[in-house]
Amino acid sequence: MPTYCYASPTGEVVERVFPMGKAPKTVKLADGSRATRSFHHEAVGVPPTKGWPLTCIASGVHVSQAQQLRDYLKQHGVPTEVTAGGDPVYRDTNHRRRALQVRGMFDRASFN
Q: Are 73 and 102 in contact (CB under 8 A)?
A: yes
For residue 76, the model assigns a pLDDT of 96
pLDDT tens-digit profile of 67-100?
A: 999 999 999 999 999 999 999 999 988 899 999 9
- The rounded distance, in Å, linking the Cα atoms of 71 and 67 is 6
Q: Are 2 and 17 in contact (CB under 8 A)?
A: yes
Segments making up each domain of the chain, as ranges: 3-42, 54-102
- The rounded distance, in Å, linking the Cα atoms of 1 and 29 is 20
Tell me the C-alpha to C-alpha distance, in Å, between residue 75 and each of 40, 58, 94, 99, 100: 38, 22, 18, 11, 14
pLDDT tens-digit profile of 12-51?
A: 899 999 999 899 999 999 899 999 999 888 876 555 567 7
